[in-house]
Every structure is written in structure tokens, then in C-alpha cells.
Structure 1
Amino acid sequence: MKTYLVGGAVRDRLLGIAVKDRDYVVVGAMPEEMLRAGYRPVGKDFPVFLHPQTHEEYALARTERKTGRGYHAFAFHTDPSVTLEDDLRRRDLTINAIAEEEDGALIDPFGGARDLEAKILRHVSPAFAEDPVRVLRVARFAARYADRGFRIAEETLALMRGMVADGEVDHLVPERVWAETQKALTEKTPGAFLRALRDCGALRVLFPEIDALYGVPQRAEFHPEIDSGIHTEMVVDMAARLAPGDALIGYSALVHDLGKALTPKDMLPKHIGHEHRGLAPVEAVSTRYKVPAEYAALAQLVCKLHLLAHTALELKPATVLGLFEQLDAFRRPERIESFLIACEADKRGRLGQSESAYPQADYLRRAFAAASAISAREFVERGVHGPAIGEAMRKARIDAIAAL
């Protein structure tokens, strides 16, 4: 029995990134041996165990064979005859198929270290095409490493295009699409996730509402980048910069402009009313991928109200209060910050505007603080009762905003 460190821990160490999780593969062992050594089984489809002290994952070396469509349709085989190279061969990318011995020596049969040096995301073997999730995973790795100059190998892109053409991507279950998308939105450059999916044709299949934005023009004086799809890439990247790792804000940024794909052609490049036209496609995406309720709710609000935020400095105090009420911000004050960051990402996610100021956010923060300071107690103490309390509070809040 021999144990090797594998996968992300080896890759990240070679990239100079702090290693968070360590996974190990065990060669030459049977499940009974692992149990006798005190390891706790956790794997459902194949033997994975937790170390009795460190609780890190140890998986028995395995091979896999495709038995049907989709990413569930695999038969796994583990026994002491499965070699380390057999196990590494089934992995997605060469940079994830590097193993490390206890003394630190690398075992790299597929050139992963070389591809790390060359900054290339390359598939390990033709078996890559058997698992449609790998299309999403490669796109997610593109989002993770685009800022380091990584690119997808042309032969890997060709394989991904073939998977889309063969209908493999059609068999992805909603939960897995959302899981990979959510992770991509926590990376440094989620725009690269969209580009990778679009380059292989998967964006059209999985997110037709987003794919439809590409080629749709916007007014150059407001959007020097012109293309609505490029703008979306820039907005999700700006959201990742303003709120690192926050997929809630990232999702709102991702779908905030879906209405622009529905603008009548005779109206282009103007997009009057796109914030309302976008509500239906935002709901469609959220429903299709079973997006968490708070993600879906904030995405609808950002879509509907982001133009109000952009014009905040010109709004009447009553309209500002109405914005807070539509956000249900007095009951959910945490929404204010998420909403404002998503709106700022939209404003700064434009060509040449990444460093521009967004004073609207600070004004709305101050306005919300002023309005929130008004409480019902002071009116009850004055003898105000029933619906009159709400009316009095609303007037006081408008006055507080007006006083800024």
C-alpha cells in the first residue's frame, strides 16, 4: 500500500498558492485494510475514506468506464491492481493529474508541470469527452487562472466543442450547472468562464439568455465597449474585484442586463425599459438552475432597480425611500450593500471606466442610515396609533433623506 498527495494541493503548491485542502490517493490497498487502519468511509460510488486524525480524504486508486449519457453514467473500478498512472489518467486536466510522493518527488506522467509552466489548460486523455461536467470545470479553471495568463489548449477546446455538438452538455443536471457556475462567480475573473463557455458553444446551450447578449449594441457614450455581452463579462469581473468570493453579488451582476437581448431592433442602440424586460429571463435562469432564493431575489431587484441607483443623486427623497422599500431593506438591511456593490460593478464594468468614482453608492448608504434611524417608538410615545404610525414614519424618513 502506498499513498500519494494528488490534485489541487500539488498544483497549487507548484503555482505558489497557499494549499487549503489535501487529497490523497492510495494504491495497492483494499477497503478492508483502510477500515482496519482506522479510516472512516465516506464515498458513495467508490471507496473514499477520512484519515482518523487529520480527517483529510484518502481515495483508493480507481478507473472509470462510461455507461451512458451524462456525468452520473459511470462505473468505477477499484482494486490493488489499479496503478497510480491509471488513476491520474481519468482526471480532467494535466495540471490536476500530478502526484507527489512523501519525499516531495513529483510523478507527472501527463506533463502537468510543463503545462503549468506554459500556462495551458489541457485535457489528460480522450476520456475527458465522456464527462460533460468537465466543460464547466475547464471554464471555471479559466476563470480562476485567467489573471495569471492561462489559456485553454486548442485541442481541448476542440474536444469541448465536440461534446457540445454531440449533445453531452444537454444532459447536465441543473444542480451541477449551478454548483460550477456559483464557484466560477467566486473566482477572480468570472468573465473568462463566460468566454470559455461561449468559445465551445456551451453558453448557448446552458445560458441562452446570456449568449443572446453578444452582438447586441449599446450607446457608445455610456458603453464604450458597445457589445452587451462584453459588458456582462466586464461587470462580473468588476463584481469579483469589489466583492471577492461573493457569488451572491456575482450572480446579480451576471444577469442584470438580460433585458437588452430583448430590446426591439428598431430601438437599438438604446435600451429603454430593459430593466423591466429583463425580469422574465432572470426568473427563467434562476428557476432552471434552482438558484437559492436570496440569489434569485437580489438578481431580480438589481435587474429592476439598477438604473434608479445610477440616478440616485437626481432622485427625489420620496423616490429614494421607495427604492429602499422595494428592496425591503428595512427588514433586510444586508441587501443594501449587496445591491449597491452590484450596481457599482455595472457602472464601472465598462471600457475605460474601471477606476471611475460611484458617489451614488455613498449617498444611498447615508440616505439609508438616515431613514433607518427613524423608529416607530417615537411616534407611539407621541400618541400616534394604527396606520398613522406608518404614514408618520414614511414622512419622517423622506424628511431625513431630504436633509442630507
Structure 2
Amino acid sequence: MQIYQVGGAVRDRLLNRPVHEVDWVVVGATAEEMLARGFRPVGADFPVFLHPQTGEEYALARTERKSGHGYGGFTFFASPEVTLEEDLQRRDLTINAIAEDAEGNLIDPYGGRRDLAARLLRHIAPAFAEDPLRVLRVARFAARYAPLGFRIAPETLALMRQLASSGELQALTAERSWKEISRALMEPRPDVFIQVLQECAALQVLLPEVAALFGVPQPAAHHPEIDTGLHVLAVLRQCAEHEQPLSVRWACLLHDVGKGLTNPAEWPQHRGHEQKGLPLVRAINQRCKVPRDCQELALLACQYHTHGHRALELKASTLLELLQKIDVYRRPERFAEFVATCTMDARGRTGLEQCAYPQADHLLAVAACARAVSAQPLLAQGLQGLELGAALNRSRLKAITLFLHDQRRGAATALAAQSRTDG
């Protein structure tokens, strides 16, 4: 029995990056021997075991053969006769096919160290094109390592295009696709993930509503980047730079999908794109089996992000309605994420990445003002049910109205003082 450390741990150590998970491959052993040593099997049909002390994964060396469609359409062959090189060959990229023995010696039969130095994501063998999940994985690695200067090898990108056009991507389960998409959105460059999928024509298969945004123009006065797809990429990059959570990143990805439905005769205007986008967001959420918190924020951002941008102009009654729609009283954290989504949207524009966004502080202050209204005085008056709700709304509206009045009066006073100084 020979045991080797493989995969991401070896790769990231060579890149001087933190190692979070360690995987091992065992050559020359049987499942019975692993069990006798106290290893716990992960699954009945998969030769992977958990170490009795560390809990790390140890997999028997194996080969695989395509036997069906999709990510699960493979049969595996594990035996003591399978060599380390044969096991490494079934992996996706050369940089993921480096092994290290107990003495620290590297086994690199497919040029992984060379590609690490060249900052290249390159497939190992033509069998790469048999697994549709690898399109998403390579795009995710591109998003992770883009800050280090990594790029996808042209021949690998060609195989990704082949997979995208083969129909194999449709065989991926929603759960598996979402796992890769959600992980990729949390990488340092989620925009690169979407861009790679667009370049290899996989975005049109997986998220056609987002793919439809590329090439759709917006008014240059508000969007110097013009192209709506490029705007979405810029918004995602802002999300990463400001370390936004997954729910915000997902909402930012989908906030403008309604613009893909605009009649070209109306370009570059997109009137009503908020309402037009709602059915698309619902369809995407359902198709991808997105978690509820991400679903809800994406719908709210699609419908109300322009309200956020016009927050300084909105009447007290409109602001109160917005707070109620987002359920700020029970879900204040969701309102904060909505404001963050609007902020990322505003800054995801060429040359405006550092722009001030006073709407954010304004919205949060309005929300705090409304949430500070107590129901206790109304309960003391004996109000209940619908009467209590109506009275509470009136009190909140009054509080917001007074807040706006004070804000405008303060602004007018500051302007007058500035005029006197200028004079």
C-alpha cells in the first residue's frame, strides 16, 4: 500500500496559498484492507474512505469510463493494479494532477508544475470532454485564480465549447449545477466565471436569461460601459471587492435580466424592465433550485433596485411601502442586503466604481426611523388587529415624513451657509 497526497492541497501549497482540505489516494490496496485499518466507507459504490482519526478522504486509485450522460454517467474501476499515473490521468486539469509522497517528493506525470508556472488551466486528456461538470469547474478555477494571472488554455476552452454544444450540460442536476455556481460566485473574481461561461457558450445553456444581456445597450449617460452584460460583470466584481454574501451576489447577477426582453427598437431605454424581469428571475430560481434567501433577495432587487437609486426623491409613503415590501421589521438584515445590492449596482459602472452613493445611508436611516416606532402606546389604547396595523402604519409614515422634513431643512441650511461663504 502506498499513500499520496493529491489534488488541491498539493496545488495550493505550490502556489503558496492556504490549504483548507487534504485529499489522499491509496495505491495497491483493497476496500477490505481499508476497512481492516479502521477507515469508514463514504458510499457503497464509491471507493472513498474517511480516516478514523482525521476524517480526511482517502480514495482507492481508480480509473473511470464514460457509460451514460451527465456528471454521474461514469463507471469506476478500483483495484490494487491501478497505478498512480492512471488515477491522476482521470482528473480534470494538469494542476490538479500532482501527487506528493510521504517524503515530500512530487509526482507530476502531466506537467502540472509547468502549467502552474505558466499560469495556465489546461486539461489532461481528451476524456475531459466526457464530463459536463468540468465546464463549470474550470470556469470556477478561472474565477479563483484570475488574481494570480491564470488563463484557460485555448485547447481546453475549445473542449469546453464542444461540451456546451453537445447537450451534455442539460444532463447536470440542478443541485450539482447550483453547488458549482454558488461556489464560483464566492470566488475572488465571480465576473470571470460568468465571462468564461459566456465565451464557451455554456451560459446560453445554463443561464440563457443572463446570456441574453450581452450586446444589449444601455444609455451611455448612466452606463459608460453601455453593454448590459458588461455592466453585470462589473457589478459582480464590485461584490467581490466589497466581500458581499452569496445572496447579494446572486441578486446582482439577476437584477437586470428584464433588459434582455426589451424590444431592440426601444434601445437603449429599458422602460419597465423591473417588472419584465420578475418572471425570468422566478424561472431561474426554480430551475436552479436556489436557496430561499437568495431567491427572495433576487426578486426584490429585480423589482425595486431602481427605487433604491431614486431613494432621495421618493415620497414618505413610497418609502414606507418599500420597507413593507422588503419586510424590514422582521427581516432588517434582508433590507441591508437590498441596500448593498443597489450600491453594488451603482458602482458597477465604468469609471464610477468609487462613486458616492448617499442613497444607501438614506435608506438605512429611513428604515431605522420606521423601526423605532413602538407599538406599545397603540396597544395601551386598546388597538388590536387591523386597527393596530393601520395605526402603526400611520405612526411610521409620520416618523418618516418628519425625518425627510428634517433632512431637507438641514440640506437647505447647509446650502444657505455655503452661499454666504461663497459670497
In the alignment, the residues of structure 2 paired with residue 265 and residue 199 of structure 1 have an alpha-carbon distance, to the nearest angstrom, of 23
In the alignment, the residues of structure 2 paired with residue 46 and residue 139 of structure 1 have an alpha-carbon distance, to the nearest angstrom, of 26
State yes or no: 1:331 paired with 2:339: no
State yes or no: 1:312 paired with 2:311: yes
Which residues of structure 2 form unaligned runs of 5+? 404-423
Corresponding residue number in structure 1 for 2:380:
381
In the alignment, the residues of structure 2 paired with residue 396 and residue 242 of structure 1 have an alpha-carbon distance, to the nearest angstrom, of 36
Q: TM-score, normalised by structure 2?
A: 0.93
Corresponding residue number in structure 1 for 2:357:
358
Could you tell which deviates more after superposition, 140-149 or 82-91? Answer: 140-149
1:239-254 paired onto structure 2 within 5 Å: 239-244=239-244, 246-254=245-253
**Which letter maps to 1:152?**
I
In the alignment, the residues of structure 2 paired with residue 18 and residue 296 of structure 1 have an alpha-carbon distance, to the nearest angstrom, of 32
Corresponding residue number in structure 2 for 1:63:
63
**Which letter maps to 1:323?**
L
Q: Is the 8 A contact 1:46 1:78 kept in 2?
A: no
Corresponding residue number in structure 2 for 1:53:
53
In the alignment, the residues of structure 2 paired with residue 52 and residue 266 of structure 1 have an alpha-carbon distance, to the nearest angstrom, of 66
Corresponding residue number in structure 2 for 1:196:
196
In the alignment, the residues of structure 1 paired with residue 197 and residue 388 of structure 2 have an alpha-carbon distance, to the nearest angstrom, of 53
1:168-183 paired onto structure 2 within 5 Å: 168-183=168-183
Deviation per residue, 1:110-130 (Å, 9 max, x gap): 111111111111101111011
State yes or no: 1:89 paired with 2:94: no
SS, match of residue 403 in structure 1: helix
Corresponding residue number in structure 2 for 1:220:
220
Deviation per residue, 1:117-157 (Å, 9 max, x gap): 11111101111011000011111111111122111000001
SS, match of residue 48 in structure 1: strand
In the alignment, the residues of structure 2 paired with residue 374 and residue 389 of structure 1 have an alpha-carbon distance, to the nearest angstrom, of 13
Corresponding residue number in structure 2 for 1:236:
236
SS, match of residue 395 in structure 2: helix
In the alignment, the residues of structure 2 paired with residue 324 and residue 237 of structure 1 have an alpha-carbon distance, to the nearest angstrom, of 28
In the alignment, the residues of structure 2 paired with residue 119 and residue 26 of structure 1 have an alpha-carbon distance, to the nearest angstrom, of 29
SS, match of residue 76 in structure 1: strand
In the alignment, the residues of structure 2 paired with residue 45 and residue 375 of structure 1 have an alpha-carbon distance, to the nearest angstrom, of 59
Corresponding residue number in structure 1 for 2:206:
206
**Which letter maps to 2:55?**
H
SS, match of residue 114 in structure 1: helix
Instruction: Quote the offset at 1:44 in angstroms.
Output: 4.1
Q: Is the 8 A contact 1:370 1:401 kept in 2?
A: yes
Corresponding residue number in structure 2 for 1:371:
370
Q: Against the structure 1 CA distance between its residues 132 and 386, is the aligned structure 2 distance closer, same or farther, given a 3 Å change threshold?
A: closer
SS, match of residue 77 in structure 1: strand
Corresponding residue number in structure 2 for 1:159:
159
State yes or no: 1:347 paired with 2:346: yes
Instruction: Quote the offset at 1:103 in angstroms.
Output: 2.1
In the alignment, the residues of structure 2 paired with residue 213 and residue 356 of structure 1 have an alpha-carbon distance, to the nearest angstrom, of 24
Could you tell which deviates more after superposition, 381-390 or 86-95? Answer: 381-390
SS, match of residue 278 in structure 1: helix
In the alignment, the residues of structure 1 paired with residue 377 and residue 178 of structure 2 have an alpha-carbon distance, to the nearest angstrom, of 46
Corresponding residue number in structure 2 for 1:116:
116
Instruction: Quote the offset at 1:315 in angstroms.
Output: 1.0
Moved over 6 A (4+): none
Instruction: Quote the offset at 1:237 in angstroms.
Output: 1.6
State yes or no: 1:136 paired with 2:169: no
Q: Against the structure 1 CA distance between its residues 393 and 37, is the aligned structure 2 distance closer, same or farther, given a 3 Å change threshold?
A: same
SS, match of residue 43 in structure 2: coil
**Which letter maps to 2:306?**
L
Corresponding residue number in structure 1 for 2:417:
none
RMSD: 1.2
SS, match of residue 272 in structure 1: coil
Q: Is the 8 A contact 1:301 1:327 kept in 2?
A: yes
Q: Against the structure 1 CA distance between its residues 319 and 128, is the aligned structure 2 distance closer, same or farther, given a 3 Å change threshold?
A: same
Q: Is the 8 A contact 1:243 1:341 kept in 2?
A: no
SS, match of residue 367 in structure 1: helix
**Which letter maps to 2:87?**
D
Q: Is the 8 A contact 1:306 1:343 kept in 2?
A: yes
**Which letter maps to 2:322?**
L
**Which letter maps to 1:381?**
A
Q: TM-score, normalised by structure 1?
A: 0.97
Q: Is the 8 A contact 1:64 1:77 kept in 2?
A: yes
SS, match of residue 64 in structure 1: strand
Instruction: Quote the offset at 1:240 in angstroms.
Output: 2.1
Q: Is the 8 A contact 1:142 1:192 kept in 2?
A: yes
Instruction: Quote the offset at 1:107 in angstroms.
Output: 1.0
Instruction: Quote the offset at 1:384 in angstroms.
Output: 3.2
Deviation per residue, 1:341-368 (Å, 9 max, x gap): 1111111111111111211111111111
SS, match of residue 42 in structure 1: strand
In the alignment, the residues of structure 1 paired with residue 44 and residue 280 of structure 2 have an alpha-carbon distance, to the nearest angstrom, of 37
SS, match of residue 5 in structure 1: strand
Corresponding residue number in structure 1 for 2:145:
145
